[in-house]
């Protein structure tokens, strides 16, 4: 018996949404040395590792700076999961900035870079300037044992970078380990899982494999003034890093969390444009965009970066000075009724205004004790 095709009556078409873009982890470090040029395949600029033994298997030696740095990096608690190793070419002689830029072109995933073997302040300054404007966003980290750093001099690298107000460079003073900054960056990358309640501050954290500095209170004060981080002992028991600041004085955790929030907002909105047939240029369409921004902010709340609090900034649309951000953030937009004809014809969305309240972190406390007999 002949039969008819059911498609003549009921047509079913499948629509599969495109995949969202992968998010950056903000938990990967790149170290740049010299040995990789002799070990990596031609045209290979960086290589990924999950443990120090991988470097030995590839041909690095135990005494190589890359292996020593990798061992220190993976020794931290919690331990990071991934390390990138790149190299600086000796012939033709390229600058450190050119080397790091080549590593960036080779892969965009790494977030922090440490260069092994830098001997002058000019190279530190050039790399700090590179990181300040690099895309995707990056951080340059370094260690210095410059004896001028623990004096009132302004000729040390920490003072120079502070004067330039760089917020994407973090430095540590250490006479005990030329790779000391890698230890605290190892903690930072290992702790930055993106899971709920994982926001952290660098202060009070230990550096496995690094010895503390034996400094006077005056010398520590000079380092603090210059926004130089240092590993110290307190009360013969607590070995901690302080203060966890960038050269500009802002805290490392603020920079990395803002980078993560910015990345989530950008990709959430782009995924919306990419996955939908279109976003209507209407208030209903704007709600979709604001929802994508809200979702990014909610992740920052879950991580512990944002929290409810009183708004003490400028008035922004319906948000007034003194209002409470009950969620820790608010995303606002004006109606399309106020949009200019030129912007409408250019198919622009209405601007979105995102106001956030950081949860902050406690770094010190004053406690009063009243005794009554």
For the ranges 16-25, 186-195, 247-256, 266-275, the lowest mean pLDDT is seen at: 16-25
Q: b or e along 56-89 (b: 16 or more beta carbons within 10 Å of the residue's beta carbon)?
A: eeeebeeebbbbbbbbbbbbbeeebebbbbbbbe
Percent of the chain with pLDDT over 90: 92
- pLDDT number for residue 1: 67
pLDDT bucket at 4, cuts 50 / 70 / 90: confident
Tell me what the mean pLDDT of segment 11-24 comes to: 79
Closest CA to 96 of 117, 76, 75, 111: 117
pLDDT at 3 over 90: no
Please report, for residues 181, 206, 211, 230, 307, the alpha-carbon distance to residue 220 in angstroms, rounded to integers and kept in the order given: 17, 17, 16, 8, 32
Asked if 61 and 67 touch (Cβ cutoff 8 Å), the reply is: yes
Q: How does pLDDT run across 222-273, given as a tens digit for each residue?
A: 999 999 999 999 999 999 999 999 999 999 999 999 999 999 999 999 999 9
Q: Which residue has the tokens 């990138």?
A: 84
Per-residue tokens: 277: 């047939």
Cis peptide leading into residue 233 (ω within 30°): no
Q: Which residue has the tokens 């604001």?
A: 290
Domain boundaries, the chain: 29-244, 267-356
3-class SS of residue 370? coil
Q: How does pLDDT run across 295-351, given as a tens digit for each residue?
A: 999 999 999 999 999 999 999 999 999 999 999 999 999 999 999 999 999 999 999
CB atoms near residue 161 (< 10 Å): 26
pLDDT at 171 over 80: yes
Closest CA to 226 of 244, 203, 249: 249
Q: How does pLDDT run across 103-149, given as a tens digit for each residue?
A: 999 999 999 999 999 989 999 999 999 999 999 999 999 999 999 99
Q: What residues contact 322, with CB distance under 8 A and at least 6 apart? A: 310, 311, 312
pLDDT at 203 over 70: yes
User: What is the value of pTM for the model shown?
Assistant: 0.94
Q: Which residue has the higher pLDDT, 93 or 75?
A: 75
Query: Looking at the DSSP assignment, which residues form a beta bridge with residue 316?
Result: 319
Per-residue tokens: 168: 């994407």
């Amino acid at each position: 018996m002949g039969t008819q095709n059911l498609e003549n009556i009921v047509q079913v078409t499948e629509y599969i949404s495109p995949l969202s873009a992968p998010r950056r982890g903000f938990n990967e470090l790149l170290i740049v040395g010299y040995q990789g040029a002799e070990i990596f395949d031609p045209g290979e600029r960086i290589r990924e590792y999950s443990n120090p033994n991988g470097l030995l298997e590839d041909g690095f030696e135990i005494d190589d700076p890359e292996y020593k740095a990798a061992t220190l990096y993976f020794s931290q608690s919690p331990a990071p999961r991934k390390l990138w190793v790149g190299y600086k070419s000796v012939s033709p002689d390229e600058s450190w900035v050119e080397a790091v830029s080549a590593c960036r072109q080779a892969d965009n995933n790494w977030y922090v870079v440490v260069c092994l073997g830098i001997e002058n302040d000019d190279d530190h300054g050039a790399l700090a300037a590179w990181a300040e404007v690099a895309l995707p966003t990056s951080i340059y980290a370094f260690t210095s044992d410059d004896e001028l750093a623990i004096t009132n001099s302004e000729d040390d690298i920490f003072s120079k970078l502070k004067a330039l107000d760089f917020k994407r460079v973090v430095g540590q003073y250490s006479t005990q380990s030329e790779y000391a900054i890698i230890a605290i960056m190892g903690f930072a990358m290992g702790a930055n899982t993106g899971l709920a309640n994982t926001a952290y501050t660098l202060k009070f954290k230990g550096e496995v494999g690094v010895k503390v500095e034996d400094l006077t209170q005056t010398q520590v004060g000079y380092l603090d003034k210059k926004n130089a981080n240092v590993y110290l002992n307190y009360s013969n028991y607590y070995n901690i890093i302080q203060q966890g600041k960038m050269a500009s004085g802002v805290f490392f955790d603020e920079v990395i969390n803002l980078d993560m929030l910015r990345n989530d907002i950008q990709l959430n909105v782009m995924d919306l444009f990419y996955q939908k047939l279109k976003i209507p240029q209407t208030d209903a369409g704007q709600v979709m965009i604001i929802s994508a921004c809200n979702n990014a902010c909610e992740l920052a709340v879950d991580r512990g970066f944002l929290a409810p609090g009183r708004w003490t900034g400028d008035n922004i649309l319906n948000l007034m000075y003194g209002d409470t951000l009950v969620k820790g953030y608010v995303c606002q937009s004006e109606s399309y009724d106020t949009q200019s004809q030129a912007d409408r014809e250019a198919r622009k969305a209405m601007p979105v205004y995102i106001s956030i309240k950081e949860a902050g972190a406690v770094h010190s406390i004053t406690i009063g004790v009243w005794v009554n007999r």
